[in-house]
Amino acid sequence: MKCFCRFFISTILLSALIIEPRANAATINAISSKKGMVSLKTSADESFKAKDKVCIFAKNQEKLACGSVLKVKDDSKMIMKVADPQELAKLKKGSSVTLKVGSSAGSDDSPTDSSAKITTTKSKRSPFRLAIGWDSSLLPFSYNQISYLPPESTPPTTLWQSTKVVSAGLTPPPYLGIAADIGIPIGARGVSLGLRYQVFQTSLVQSNYDPTTFEPYVSTEVKAKAIGFWADFLAYRKQLSQRFALNVLSGIDFDSVAVSVAATKLTDGPPETSSPIVTAEGKLSIISLRAGARADIKLFSVVGVSLGATALIPLVAPTNSLTANFSDGEGRDLEDPIIDLKTSLGLQKKSFGFEALVNTYVSF
Give residue-wise pLDDT tens across range 105-134: 444 433 333 333 333 334 457 789 999 999
* Cis peptide leading into residue 85 (ω within 30°): no
* Cis peptide leading into residue 174 (ω within 30°): yes
Q: Any idea what DSSP says for residue 169? A: E
Give residue 34's pLDDT band: very low, low, confident or very high (50, 70, 90). Answer: confident
Whether 22-123 and 129-363 share one fold: the answer is: no
Give residue 195's pLDDT band: very low, low, confident or very high (50, 70, 90). Answer: very high
Average pLDDT of span 206-219: 93
Give residue-wise pLDDT tens across range 252-274: 999 999 999 999 999 998 888 99
Mean predicted lDDT score pLDDT of the chain: 86
Average pLDDT of span 339-355: 97
Give residue-wise pLDDT tens across range 293-340: 999 999 998 999 999 999 999 999 999 999 999 999 999 999 999 999
Determine the pLDDT at residue 241.
86
The least confident of 61-65, 105-109, 218-222 is 105-109
Dihedral over alpha carbons 323, 326, 331, 332 (to 10 degrees) = -150
Angle (nearest 5°) at CA 46 between 42 and 47:
110
Give the three-state DSSP class for 248: strand
pLDDT at 200 over 90: yes
Give residue 20's pLDDT band: very low, low, confident or very high (50, 70, 90). Answer: very low
The more confidently predicted of residues 26 and 266 is: 266
| CA-based nearest residue to 275, from 257, 262, 258, 260 | 262
Domain boundaries, the chain: 22-123, 129-363
Determine the pLDDT at residue 283.
98
pLDDT at 104 over 50: no
Domain 129-363: which topology? Porin (2.40.160)
Name the strand (E) or helix (H) holding 113: none
Give residue 61's pLDDT band: very low, low, confident or very high (50, 70, 90). Answer: confident
Average pLDDT of span 141-155: 94
pLDDT at 17 over 80: no
Please state the pTM of the whole predicted model.
0.68
Give residue 222's pLDDT band: very low, low, confident or very high (50, 70, 90). Answer: very high
**Domain 22-123 bears CATH identifier 3.40.50.360:** no
Determine the pLDDT at residue 263.
97
CA distance 293 to 310: 7
Determine the pLDDT at residue 47.
67
Give residue 175's pLDDT band: very low, low, confident or very high (50, 70, 90). Answer: very high
Percent of the chain whose pLDDT exceeds 70 = 86
Average pLDDT of span 155-173: 94
pLDDT at 22 over 60: no
| CA-based nearest residue to 27, from 125, 94, 77 | 94
Determine the pLDDT at residue 116.
36
pLDDT at 204 over 60: yes
Q: Tell me if 276 sits within 8 A of 248, measured CB to CB.
A: no
Size (the chain), residues: 364
Give residue 173's pLDDT band: very low, low, confident or very high (50, 70, 90). Answer: confident
Give the three-state DSSP class for 226: strand
Q: In this structure, is the dihedral angle defined by the CA atoms of residues 128, 132, 135 and 141, taken in order, positive or negative? A: positive
pLDDT at 138 over 70: yes
| CA-based nearest residue to 219, from 196, 230, 203 | 203
Angle (nearest 5°) at CA 299 between 87 and 359:
120
